[in-house]
Amino acid sequence: MPRKSLLAAASLILLLSTFSHAGKPGKKNQKKHLKISTETVKAQKPRVPKRAGPAKNYWDVNLSTAEIAAIKQEIDSLPKIRGIHITAWIAGDEKLRKKLLEKVSASVINSVVVAVKEMNGKVYLPGVEKAYKWGSHENAIPDPEKMMKDFKKLKLYTMARVVCFHDSVVPAKNTALAVKNPEGSPWKSRKGDTWVDPYSREVWDYLLDVAERAAELGFDEIQFDYIRYPTEGDTKLCRFSQVHNKENATKNIAAFLKYARKRLSKYGVKLSADVFGLTTGSDMGIGQDLNLIAENVDYVYPMMYPSHYYNREYDLANPDSQPYKLIDRGLKHALGNTGRNYAKIRPYLQDFSLKWKYGPNELRAQIIAAKGNMLDSWILWNPSGKYSWEALTPQMYRAFVDPEWK
């Protein structure tokens, strides 16, 4: 990552932290809207041939034609995932779910991500004992079996999103599991949010209790989010149960994923992780080593929302206004830095407006950029679940993205 990108990392992390996946209850028809506030083994890297000359751009791909062809072959062997993220409140409400699935059935969408544990610490699936004990259960999905039946009726690939270490419930109930201040009280971000200790095995088991419940219900994939360390606030005051430094942080994330793999192996579910978009070039000091994470999961989801990138990133004056170029350059950067692990990447794409107005054209531009970089799998994010369905019809998809889609 160039020097200017590293200098921007701190500001970018703060922006990202205020726009990551999250949920908030509303009042009517149980409709819940999300606030727009949307995070060992050695990585085995492929041989990288030397360039004839210096790279023109830092996102240029330094892989041979044969290496790229091998990666493309691996990508083509995997299922194609075209997904949307939905809140537990929409997924769990039969009427809202029905309306959504009517739109899904008339589109190219074949997958859904359901938030079963959010950054507020709430657990939305019934049947998790510690969630009742610690007061984190909220009855957003009262009949998960019926929900899953409706998803499977449309043959949808299902993913359960589990927010890991950002948690505003458990630290208040069990201070021993919190990231702490030096004097022992729970550490808080500038907004007053708390985190559970990523080094704690009791925390790991709690998170995997939620993941295991989702696996029992028949979810095809467990998607771990906020699989990182605190960033927004005075993090120098953070105290953990183990010595915390860059090396230990990245190893610990990998260890958690290996532990999750072992515990969930009997269910045959896929495992995945959400990461910041800029982890294509750096771990950003938050423990998200893209290659190391990829080695321990089936898929990785960089959150490549153009609105979240610092101005001048990838030499774009305003990345939010140029969604095609942002995704194109970001994925080239990822390919060059991950090699064979690139086959595991499924980007989260932006279908909401923040600073720049987004609609079908902006969404389509991102999807086309992903396909141009060998990726037919992606997930769309809109905090209120209102997607640009007109860009996702079979006719539009064949006309603009893939003429051979059936």
158: CB partners within 8 A, 6+ apart? 111, 112, 114, 148, 151, 152, 218, 219, 220, 221
Given this model, what pLDDT does residue 58 score? 87
Report the distance separating Cα 50 and Cα 64, nearest Å.
9
Q: What is the mean pLDDT of each run of 10 residues along the chain (406 residues)?
A: 44 42 43 38 38 69 94 96 97 97 98 97 97 97 98 98 97 95 95 96 98 98 96 92 93 96 97 86 70 95 94 94 97 93 97 95 98 97 95 96 90
Q: What is the pLDDT at residue 406?
A: 81
Does residue 241 belong to any structural domain of this protein?
yes
Pick the closest to residue 200 from 221, 171, 173, 223 (CA basis): 171
Total count of domains within the chain:
1
Res 222: pLDDT: 98
Contact 280, 301 (CB under 8 A): no
Round to the nearest angstrom and report the end-to-end CA distance of the chain.
39
Residues spanned by the domain of 317: 3-36+62-400
- For tokens 């000359």, the residue is 53
Candidates 159, 277, 259; CA nearest to 217 is 159
Query: Which candidate, 341, 220, 305, places its Cα nearest to that of 269?
Result: 220
Q: Is 18 inside any structural domain? A: yes
Q: What are phi and psi of 301, to 5 degrees?
A: -115, 90
47 within domain boundaries: no
Q: In Å, how far are 66, 79, 189, 376 from 340, measured between CA atoms?
A: 12, 17, 37, 16
pLDDT given at position 274: 95
Buried b (16+ CB within 10 A) or exposed e, 22-61: bbeeeeeebbbbbbbbbbbeebeeeeeeeeeeeeeeebeb
Whether 50 maps to a domain, the answer reads: no
**267 CB contacts (<8 Å, ≥6 apart)?**
212, 215, 216
Indicate the residue type of 350: Q
The pLDDT, as a whole number, for residue 289 is 86
pLDDT for 34: 36
Q: Is 300 left (phi over 0), alpha (psi -120 to 50) or beta?
A: beta
As to burial, measured by CB atoms within 10 angstroms (0-12 exposed, 13-18 middle, 19+ buried), residue 3 is exposed
pLDDT for 92-106, tens place per residue?
999 999 999 999 999
In a domain, 225, yes or no: yes
Q: Does a structural domain hold residue 289?
A: yes
CATH value at residue 251: 3.20.20.80
Residue 255's pLDDT is 96
| pLDDT computed for residue 28 by the predictor | 44
Domain-located, residue 228: yes
Q: What is the pLDDT of residue 36?
A: 33
Q: Please tell me the predicted confidence (pLDDT) of residue 21.
A: 52
Q: For residue 177, tell me if it sits in a domain.
A: yes
